[in-house]
Amino acid sequence: MKFKNYFGFLFFLVLFSLILTFNVSALGITPSKEVIIFSSGLEGTYSYMVQNTGKNKVAVDLYIRGDLKDYFELSEKSLILNSGEKKTFSMKMKLPQTIEKPGLHQQRIGALESMSNMDVEGGVGVGSRVGVESIFDVRVPFPGKYAELKIKTVDVALGEPVKFYVTALNYGLDKLNEVTIKINIYNSENKKVQELTSEKFSLEQSGSKEVLLQLDTKDINAGIYTAKVAVEYDGGGKVEDSIGFKVGELVAKVKKVNYEKITKDSVAKLNIELESQWNSKIENAYLQLDVYSGSGEKIGTQKSESFILNPWTTTTINMLWDTSGVAPGTYDAKLILNYAGKASEYPFKIKIGSGSTIIWIIAGLAVAVLLYFILRKKKER
């Protein structure tokens, strides 16, 4: 009875999933984002386009939400779109004379699949409602002098310059007459290794400027770094941010080798942890395992399949080694990681047990099982 109930529940889930996927809707809206700077009583009209990229005709409700929504008006409240059809609507804006809170005021203009779709040809009225939104930002300037910054950079190879693109933005009411960008570079031990400084420049109200500063990596080591960025401006103003970056070197190595107990005449499994310090993929890398006797004679060797090392990642590779013919004992071993015409070595010890303990355990279990059945048979008699 329980099995029948379980089967019925699974059948219901499959049927419900099919119903949900029967009426697939998808919407798009453009533009995806608008940004304006507030001014007293500012007016404007903005156009939007909604597209039905689904397979069925769909009705959508249009809306606007946000703390300034009362100062916006949409030309349409709803639209009906055939499959692949695009339609436009407009939004009128009339901002108030003042907005008390400075900063960013984000509004969202959206198109949401209507509940009335059950009455639209092709609709089934089942499933979640599909929606899409466009962002409309109103930035209210701060009183006096006020700035913000944006920074971007990418990882590089050792010897290549690190390019920092820093954008200073004047979000205050007053002009910034003397703006300077400073970048302090710190290594992974939080030790300052270099400082970069831009020339002075000015920014009008609502103005912005992108400045390129470059770090020469010829005199630093490969590794992970942090750039602490500051935009300083007249009046004692200062805004700060930070970003991490990596300076890579074509180096890969074995970090660690783990394995469970290895016994004679078995296939050992080694879990090998590898690390790449390069900015790009390293293809066709492979491992070689060499095992040596106490006299230094090579008694075993094994090569892995080739693999890819992804940039700045740690990868675990599993490697098998057949211990047939190797006597129990502790041996010197060496893993050689071959990559991009280079090789790095990792020496370690590998221990091979006799396996007798396991054999006795198996034998003991076999005897116990046999005794159990003998005693049971006697009781039945």
HEC assignment per residue over the chain = CHHHHHHHHHHHHHHHHHHHHHCCCCEEEECCEEEEECCCCCEEEEEEEEEECCCCCEEEEEEEECCCHHHEEECCCEEEECCCCEEEEEEEEECCCCCCCCEEEEEEEEEEECHHHHHCCCCCCCCCCCEEEEEEEEEECECCCCEEEEEECCCEECCCCEEEEEEEEECECCCEEEEEEEEEEECCCCCEEEEEECCCEEECCCCEEEEEEEECCCCCCCEEEEEEEEEEECCCEEEEEEEEEEEECCCEEEEEEEECCEECCCEEEEEEEEEECCCCCEEEEEEEEEEECCCCCEEEEEECCCEEECCCCEEEEEEEEECCCCCCEEEEEEEEEEECCEEEEEEEEEEEECCHHHHHHHHHHHHHHHHHHHHHHHHHC
User: In the CATH scheme, what is the code of domain 252-356?
Assistant: 2.60.40.10
CA separation for the pair 319, 288 (Å, rounded): 9
Query: How many whole angstroms separate alpha carbon 331 and alpha carbon 293?
Result: 6
The amino acid present at 342, given as its one-letter code, is K
Confidence of residue 125 (pLDDT cuts 50, 70, 90): very low
Q: Can you give the pLDDT at residue 223?
A: 93
Residue 243: what are its φ and ψ, rounded to 5°?
A: -150, 140
Backbone dihedral region for residue 115 (phi beyond 0: left; psi -120 to 50: alpha; all else: beta): alpha
Q: Where in the chain do CATH 2.60.40.2550 domains reside?
A: 147-247
Query: How confident is residue 354, by pLDDT bands cut at 50, 70 and 90?
Result: confident
Cβ atoms of residues 34 and 136 within 8 Å: yes
Tokens representing residue 58 in the block? 């769909």
Confidence of residue 358 (pLDDT cuts 50, 70, 90): low
Choice among 123-132, 266-275, 316-325 with the minimum mean pLDDT: 123-132
Q: Report pLDDT for 119.
A: 53
Could you tell me which of 140, 132, 108, 136 has the C-alpha nearest to residue 33? 136
Closest CA relative to residue 166, chosen from 63, 240, 271: 240
- pLDDT confidence tier of residue 24, bands split at 50, 70 and 90: low
Structure tokens at 10: 């699974």
d(CA 170, CA 234): 12
Q: Yes or no: say if 56 and 122 are a contact pair by the CB < 8 Å rule.
A: yes
Residue 8 burial (10 A CB sphere; 0-12, 13-18, 19+): exposed
Q: How confident is the model at residue 365 (pLDDT cuts 50, 70, 90)?
A: confident
Q: Is the pLDDT of residue 363 over 90?
A: no
More confident of the two residues 14 and 47: 47
Q: What is the mean pLDDT of residues 43-63?
A: 96
Query: Which part of the chain is CATH 2.60.40.10?
Result: 24-140, 252-356
Q: Which of 315, 157, 149 is nearest to 245 (CA)?
A: 157
360 band by pLDDT with thresholds 50, 70 and 90 = low
Residue 370's pLDDT is what? 74
Assigned token pair, 180: 């300077």
375 has pLDDT over 90: no
Dihedrals phi, psi of 341, to nearest 5 degrees:
75, 5
Here the tokens at position 188 are 């992974």
Mean local confidence (pLDDT), 203-213: 97
Q: What pLDDT, on a 0 to 100 scale, did the predictor assign at position 325?
A: 87
Please tell me which residue, 36 or 18, carries the higher pLDDT value: 36
Query: Under CATH, domain 24-140 is a member of which superfamily?
Result: Immunoglobulins (2.60.40.10)
Query: pLDDT digit string (tens) for 215-237?
Result: 999 989 999 999 999 999 998 99
Q: Which tops the pLDDT comparison, 367 or 124? A: 367
- When pLDDT is averaged across residues 174-179 and rounded to a whole number, the result is 97
Write the CATH number of the domain with boundaries 147-247.
2.60.40.2550
Between 19 and 232, the more confident residue is 232
- Classify residue 33 as exposed, middle or buried by CB count within 10 Å of its CB (0-12, 13-18, 19+): exposed
Least confident of 6-10, 273-277, 355-359: 6-10
The per-residue pLDDT for 307 is: 97
What average pLDDT does the segment 93-98 reach?
98
Residue 141 token pair: 């300037």
Average pLDDT value for residue range 165-186: 98
In this predicted model, what pLDDT tens digit does every residue of 280-315 receive, in sequence order?
999 999 999 999 998 899 998 999 999 999 999 999
